[in-house]
Amino acid sequence: MPRIGLTLGKYAPFHLGHKYVIDTAIAEMDKVIVMVYEDDVTPIPARIRANWIRGIYPSVEVIECYDCLQTVGYTPEIMRAHDEYILKTVGSRGITHFYSSEDYGAHVSAALNAIDRRVDPGRSVFCISATKIREDAYKHRAFVPDIVYRDLIVKVAFLGAESTGKSTLAKELARRHNTEFMPEYGAEYWHANQQDMQLTPMQLVELAQGHVEREDRKILGADKFCFIDTNAITTYMYAMDYHGFALPELRELADKCQARYDITILCEDDIPYEDTWDRRGIEVRAASQRKIVAELVKRGIHFHRVCGDIEQRVRAVDSIINHRP
C-alpha cells in the first residue's frame, strides 16, 4: 500500500519552516500532496504561492484551494467544517499521513483516518513564521527561498526615450529607500559590442537576457523595492527600429514584462536633452517617446507618467509605490 502524505497551508509566504515539513514528508512518503489556501492575509494570489511549491518540488501534487474556509479556530463547528472541506478536496486519494506543525493536526488526521505526523511543532529547527516575514522580509531574508523572495519585492521599471532621466531617478530612489538599483545593462553592452552604432538581432537577445540575469540578482538583495532602469520592451523596440523584426527569444522576454514588473513608470521628455556622441538627437527622443507610449498601450501595460525635476519625480514615484493596491 503506498504511503501518501498530505500537508496544507496559506504559505504566505512560503519559508524554510514550511520547506522542512514538505522535505520530511517527501523523505518518508511515496507521494506528497500540498493544499494551498487562498487567504486575505496576503495580496499574493494562491496561484503564485502554489507555483513556488511546484517550482521547488516538481514531483509534488499541489492543489489550489479558492473556495476554502477563511474562519479559523478550534470550536467543534469550525473544526468539522475544515475537516469536511479537506475530505471533499482530496477525495479518494488514500491519504495515510497528515503532516503539520500545528495543533489542528490532531483533528485533521483523525478525519482523514491518517497518522498525525507533527514536524518541529516547537519551531526549534527553524524559528520563523510567515507573520514575521510579512512584517520585514528583508530582515528575515535567510529564511526565504529565492523563488519566493523575488515575488515579495515590488519591481519598479522605468521606461522612456534616451535622456529622459531614467537612470538618475531609479538610482536616487534606490538610495533614499536603501535598496537596490538595476542600471541599464543595454548601455554597457552596446558600448562594448556595437558596430556602426548598431547591434545584431542575436546581440539584442544577449543584451536582454543579460539584463534579466543581472536584475534577478539585484532583486535578491533588495529591500521591499527594486528600481530598474529599462526592460526588454525597450530592447524589442530597438530591434524593430533597426532590423524590422525581433528574434523569438527577444519577443518572449518583451512579452513577459507585463507580468514581471509590478509598476511601470514613464519618464517624460520634459527635461533638457543631454547630447552625447552615442545618442541620436532631440528629435529622435521625441519620436521614441511617442513610440514607447504606443507600445505600452498596445500591450495593455498600465503605466504612470512622471515629469519635472528630480525632486518632483521622486515625490511622484513615492506616492505611486506607497498607494499601490
Domains of the chain: 4-139 (3.40.50.620), 153-322 (3.40.50.300)
Q: Is the pLDDT of residue 65 over 70?
A: yes
Average pLDDT, the chain: 94
Q: Please determine, for residue 274, whether its predicted confidence score (pLDDT) is greater than 80.
A: no
3-state secondary structure of 165: coil
Q: Identify the residue with better confidence: 67 or 263.
A: 263
Spatial contact of 271 and 164, defined as CB atoms under 8 Å apart: yes
The residue with greater pLDDT, 195 or 65, is 65
In the predicted structure, residue 282 carries a pLDDT above the cut 80: no
Q: Distance (Å, rounded) from C-alpha 176 to C-alpha 199? A: 35
The percentage of residues in the chain with a pLDDT greater than 90, rounded to a whole number, is 86
Q: CB atoms < 10 A from the CB of 324, how many?
A: 10
Q: List the one residue out of 107, 38, 50 whose CA is nearest residue 75.
A: 107
Q: Is 300 helix (H, G, I), strand (E, B) or coil?
A: coil
In the prediction, which pLDDT does 196 show? 84
Residue 187 pLDDT grade (very low, low, confident, very high; cuts 50, 70, 90): confident
Mean pLDDT of 76-83: 94
Whether 276 shows a pLDDT value over 70: the answer reads no
**The predicted structure's pLDDT at residue 189:** 94
pLDDT at residue number 163? 87
pLDDT at position 40 over 90: no
Q: Determine the average pLDDT of the residues in 73-77.
A: 93
What pLDDT does residue 79 have?
A: 95
In this structure, the number of other CB atoms found within 10 A of the CB of residue 204 comes to 26
pLDDT computed for residue 261 by the predictor: 98
Tell me the average pLDDT across 109-137: 95
d(CA 293, CA 164) in angstroms, rounded, equals 14
Beta bridge partners of 1: none
Cβ count near 306 (within 10 Å): 23
Q: What are the E-state strand segments in 250-311? A: 263-267, 304-306
CB neighbour list of residue 174: distance below 8 Å, 6 or more residues apart? 180, 181, 225, 226, 227
CA distances for 106 relative to 112, 117, 289, 301, 303, angstroms: 10, 9, 62, 48, 49
Query: With contact defined as beta carbons under 8 Å apart, do 18 and 129 qualify?
Result: no
Q: Compute the distance between CA of residue 205 and CA of residue 183 in angstroms, rounded to an integer.
A: 18
Q: Using the predicted structure, report yes or no on whether residue 92 has a pLDDT greater than 90.
A: no
* pLDDT > 80? residue 277: no
Query: Is the model's pLDDT at 52 over the cut of 80?
Result: yes
CA distance 314 to 77: 52
Q: How far apart are CA 3 and CA 29, in angstroms?
A: 5
pLDDT at 280 over 80: no
**Residue pair 239/204 in contact by the 8 Å Cβ criterion:** yes
pLDDT value at residue 324:
78
Distance of CA 261 to the CA centre of its chain: 8
Amino acid at 310: I
Residue found under cell 526615450: 161
Band (pLDDT 50/70/90 cuts) for residue 49 is very high
pLDDT digits (tens, 9 = 90+) for 188-241: 998 899 888 889 999 999 999 999 999 999 999 999 999 999 999 999 999 999
pLDDT tens, 254-265? 999 999 999 999
Mean pLDDT of 47-51: 97
